[in-house]
Amino acid sequence: MATPILSATGIPAATAAARYGQTADGATGVQSQGTQSPGTDFSALLGNALAGVVDAGHQADTQSRQALLGQANLTDVVNAVSQADLALQTTTAIRDRVVQAYQDIIKMPI
């Protein structure tokens, strides 16, 4: 059985649940000494999310290739392509928001 993947991010559901649990428990990513715990910075989070998008694209390509060879179930192909499309749309929306925020900051008077 395949590991459930959150369609919007491409992150495995178990990982998302664990991260949610950390947030719900009040974890901020900052240890008591004031140093940041490893793997919780924004760039690592963004990198993991982008890796999930790329993995979703690769999975969709693999499923499509197998369908062309007659070795895949059509439902699996449609699900993989839909997940990859949704992940790409989400990534594009986030990119647009980041660019807009950057432009708003640049326009601010000093």
Token pair of 31 as six digits: 């240890």
Task: Provide the whole-model pTM.
Answer: 0.57
What average pLDDT does this structure show over 57-86? 92
Domain locations in the chain as residue ranges? 41-110
pLDDT of residue 57: 92
Residue type, 33: Q
Is residue 98 predicted with pLDDT exceeding 80?
yes
pLDDT of residue 43: 82
pLDDT of residue 10: 66
pLDDT of residue 91: 92
Is residue 74 predicted with pLDDT exceeding 50?
yes
pLDDT of residue 72: 86
